[in-house]
Amino acid sequence: MQQNKKILLIEDEKILGEILLTKLRDQGFEAKWELDGVAGLAAIREFKPDLILLDIVMPKKDGYEVLEDMNKDSELKKIPVIIISNSGQPVEIERILALGAKDYIVKAQFSPDEVLQKMHKYLLGDAAEVSPAMATSARKKINVLVVEDDAFLSSLATSRIAQEGYTVTSALDGEQGWQILQKHETDLVLLDMIMPGMNGFDLLRKLKADEKCKDVLVIIFSNLGQEQEIAEARELGADDFLIKANFTLREVLEKIEALLRKHGKL
């Protein structure tokens, strides 16, 4: 897919621009980079990108103005835009989405791999737009287990994951989670670390040592966030580690989908 796809990056931070441009080209994309909104708009018309990565705060024209100008052109407004912003404030996000942007990434929290994951989603183009039933059908076959001792958060996460079409089971502690893993086929576990009795580390250790469960994908979703704890979780076989305070449920869902796609389960 990458080899024929053209990506335009409009970003005035030179270090970030260089990192993203290198990553895009390494992945086989035909990538172009502009440093301000005026040059960016000219490049949109000339380069005709398949997707745009757009900063908000820039010289000459900011990201909002670029989106407004794109909206005035029936062809340009069809191009998917992912915003890369210094802010994740709801009022800014609402304005971005109202102007037609497909998605946003907060600079302080992003990694180049996350940018690529979001790009992949929107580069599927019309196929992704017209087949939500197919996507829901595929997710229905995926069994997700939420192991979380906070009943409110467990209920919230379980409901939100189920809304996306996944088959979801929940457990309020490690022991209950382990029993479910033994009885039911599971594709992915969203796992808290601090729980009474069998904690997340204990469950992860048992899961990865078990022949039946060792290939189950595990995303740690915890208030713990020290380097030592993250390193231990990864050494035990966790596929990702998310700190609760830093991620919305929407972003957790994006992580789940990206991990399942990476391992060919979706």
β-strand partners of 190: 146, 219
Q: Are residues 152 and 42 in the same domain?
A: no
Do 160 and 198 fall into the same domain?
A: yes
Per the structure, the complete domain to which residue 78 belongs is given by 2-130
- CA dist 179 → 189, 238, 263 (Å): 13, 19, 25
Residues 198 and 167 in one domain: yes
Alpha-carbon gap, residue 185 to 203, rounded angstroms: 16
What is the share, in percent, of the chain residues with pLDDT greater than 70? 90
pLDDT tens-digit map of 200-245: 999 999 999 999 999 999 999 988 767 888 889 999 999 999 888 7
Write the pLDDT tens digit of every residue in 70-86.
988 888 888 989 888 87
Q: What is the mean pLDDT of residues 13-22?
A: 87
108, 223: one domain: no
Domain termination site, one of 130, 160, 182:
130
Same domain assignment for residues 141 and 257: yes
Domain check: are 151 and 140 in the same one? Answer: yes
Domain tally for the chain?
2
Q: Are residues 119 and 162 in the same domain?
A: no
Q: Are residues 174 and 212 in the same domain?
A: yes
Q: Phi and psi at residue 88, in whole multiples of 5°?
A: -120, 25
Contact 166, 238 (CB under 8 A): no
